[in-house]
Structure 1
């Protein structure tokens, strides 16, 4: 979608040549004697239209208005949330056949946040999945012009961020929506390579041999039951000063999750193609960074593989050795996301990050706790947690901080390894986070459980692209402040040194990884 920002008065908006003119009218709008003001005043007086949020009035070939169709939208107080709610209700109008150019006119002084939100909402409303639909027609809408009364520097900057964010969200939605046979680990790696062609970016792909050499026994154990070879994707964006500590983002990339030997029920298993929502969000963030080019260094890590019940698959009761040297008893093969993440989190330490954030469709327990509104946020670092929560609120991609008390880790104790990979049903989202915490040491770290927010089920089934908005806002805030996150005292993982024999044991645990 091509977006354009213009300074437009109500009179100029009436002259804007387009197929559809959306007019956002707030309760504070001062209606003039121009064509649009006259129409709105008359419609309100006759009771055909109201300025409260969500009200609509569709008009056709209005005299003195160049647009073929006009849609009046009430936005209440005119806040960003009101703008979003109003625009979400006109998705069908934007997807109508023959509609090639649309204009959105703010009939009031919109703030920067409302403008950015309008772009994002229009992007969401006009997204359509077509990759595997042979009869799908491409969206006819090619351009949307946003008209604001005053094109200030703040509004222009917010517009650019909004455009970049909606591109990143669309990227994340597209890859998460694709079926597993159209979004294999190799395909994800190729997508990362494509993004990395942008300025200040680079990409490194680790295959099965390289991952085995690194000693990522937990990651390899998950992949060993699949015929699709694993890929460990490493993206770099170098927009900050050389030597500045990067922010590292780690996204769970299980391109399909059967549950392995601990097989999932057949009902709704097709939705397990969305289990790489964390990986998709990393790709989406880097797509946005490529467009905005902010002054910050960012590393993206994606451990990508399938979790399948092959004869070579890891079994309940098996013990594997992670890259950190810590051993893990596999009590449930369907708790595989934490296994691929733990090796990626340990790998991330080599970049000496200012902050480390992972995002994963990790637990059904988080869905029970928070539903589909807020992502679960886990962190022992108050400053980092506050920054992420603030970013989520600003991007209208909210999260909610969950506990990380040390006692929650008691259930991970094992008689046969350093830890088990599950700790029972109680507080499942918390114990999963406690498992990951064992692999981050004293790095400022946060975990986002997006199992309830990365996709929707039912009639609206599809990926949401979350938490791209939250992460992008967090990174841009860090770039603007250039203030490093302070290190908090958290429980350190203290594995034994990695000897040659330990590495050999880790590699042999899953020697068929990716085969």
Structure 2
């Protein structure tokens, strides 16, 4: 169910809803709205702070009943922590924590505002956007196939304007809604069972996005892939009865500009590991091995909606990696769209193999800078856990642009080295490169491999193997697929349009 968003000039203490969210710092500082509500509650909040039942530490959350002293029935008090660590991302997380607490208590109508102590430090529109994303993502329930559906959650949110300008509210609410919807779509697609979401179904979703947003689309089937010499991509797909699809989407927001951002997503809708099959533990999560493709498609949906002044071409390479009688084998040598050859040393390093043709195709389509995004390596999870995306690339300017975009999105990245001394891991005696070179520097090897297929085009690789799937509810993320990277790609396109 979609949330209804309304605005009011009333103070939170006067808004008749099920619950309001207030924020408190670790120095026990309340906003002006919070102080007014505390007064109306006969200093009940102050008493709880004096007794140290409320400390204001980050992620602390308490639900209180108002006993009819204000228009709202409940108050949700969320700790903001130390002000030195404040950011729009931390505020987004706090909003999500408070909204989810409210929803879990049965709240249907919620009111929230931006504390004035944050307005002095961050852009008003960014804070409004953080509120919308926090509520929408923090309360989002991934679709279920259960016969009995879940009870409905928060249906209406009232935003108290107070000191914010009308323009900042309008911009923040519009962007927040679009960004949140994109993230929800990506996480939903990633969470779909593989028997429901095949490459063909993913292509149909892309067609819907293109029609709704006015994007150019081209869905390349197996026969055309043969004509394009996409033999690496086709080799991975041969082990499955499901036909592969290469999906191209183009947004032309600046026709006179020669710069074209190329987004390339890995769309393996199920990854068994191929003939070198994965262990059974966790294989059910391999339905989300198309998280990169989901992020690219959802980002293109948002870009087509927001219409920035830039040009973007997206390429999604989608297939299954299975163990059928035609599956590619260790020791095979594959030709690629770029003309380079690959020695296959591990069939479970398939993501980079299909991205080789995806990156080459994006270059053929005129991309002047490239960003690929993929759940590429388990080594990235070993290095960074599920908290950060691994980033590497060949161009410092583009690396910085992506880092800034990730910061705005609240999707932190960590830059890894990409230097010549790592090349020997993938040296092959019989081909231009091999696809895997052992455990050492495993995450970096993915970048070393992909670099062979971008030539001199500025390029950044994002390995989202860690953050693509959350093992618990945490801030804006629910237990399950997260849609990681989606909002980073949207911000990157918006930056290009400035």
Return the TM-score normalized by structure 2. Answer: 0.90
Q: Which residue of 1 aligns with 2:160?
A: 147
8 A Cα contact 2:185 2:298, kept in partner: yes
Number of the residue aligned with 2:46: 44
Distance 1:348 1:178 in 2: 27
Question: Which of the numbers 273, 287, 304 marks the counterpart of 2:301?
Answer: 287
What root-mean-square deviation, in Å, do the aligned CA atoms of Structure 1 and Structure 2 show?
Answer: 2.3
The counterpart of 2:489, out of the listed 457, 471, 484, is: 471
Say yes or no: does 1:106 pair with 2:119. Answer: no
1:137 equivalenced with 2:153 (yes/no): no
| Distance in 2 (alpha carbons) for counterparts of 1:242 and 1:198 | 24
Structure-1 separation of matches of 2:10 and 2:33:
12
CA shift, 1:232, in A, is 0.6
Rounded Cα–Cα distance in structure 2 between residues aligned with 1:159 and 1:207:
39
Q: CA–CA distance in 1 between the matches of 2:35 and 2:47?
A: 15
Residue 462 of structure 1: aligned partner: 480
Q: State the partner residue of 2:63.
A: 58
- Output the CA distance in 2 between the equivalents of 1:115 and 1:206: 40
**Residue aligned with 1:237, SS:** strand
> After alignment, is 260-269 or 22-31 more displaced?
22-31
Point out 4+ residue stretches in structure 1 off by more than 4 angstroms: 31-37, 458-461
Q: Structure 1 residue 438 and structure 2 residue 437: aligned?
A: no
Q: Paired residue for 1:123?
A: 136
Cα distance, 1:90 vs. partner? 3.4
Q: Whole-Å Cα distance in 1 between the matches of residues 342 and 310 of structure 2? A: 36
Secondary structure at 2:63 match in 1: strand
93, 101, 111: which one pairs with 1:93? 101
1:370 equivalent in alignment to 2:384: yes
Q: Secondary structure at the match of 2:323?
A: coil
CA distance in 1, matches of 2:194, 2:99: 28
Displacement of 1:57 after TM fit? 3.7
Normalising by structure 1, what TM-score?
Answer: 0.87
For residue 476 of structure 1, report the CA deviation from its aligned partner: 1.1
Instruction: State the alpha-carbon separation in 1 of the partners of residues 17 and 303 from structure 2.
Output: 31
The 2-side partners of 1:88 and 1:442 are apart by 42
Separation in structure 2 between the aligned mates of residue 301 and residue 379 of structure 1, nearest angstrom: 18
Asked whether 1:190 is paired with 2:208, we answer no
Q: Does structure 2 conserve the Cα–Cα contact (< 8 Å) formed by 1:23 and 1:106?
A: no
- Counterparts of 1:70 and 1:413 in 2: how far apart (Å)? 61
Count of aligned pairs: 478
- After superposition, what is the alpha-carbon deviation per residue over 1:250-270, rounded to whole angstroms, capped at 9, x for unaligned? 000000000100111111111
Q: Structure 1 residues 461, 72: CA separation in 2 closer, same or farther (over 3 Å shift)?
A: closer
List aligned pairs for 1:17-416, cutoff 5 A: 17-26=16-25, 27=29, 29-30=31-32, 34-35=36-37, 37-39=39-41, 41-46=43-48, 47=51, 48-76=53-81, 77=83, 79-90=87-98, 92-96=100-104, 99-108=107-116, 110-111=118-119, 112=124, 113-137=126-150, 139-152=152-165, 153-416=167-430
Contact 2:38–2:44 (8 Å) recurs in 1: no
Q: By how many angstroms is 1:92 displaced? A: 4.4
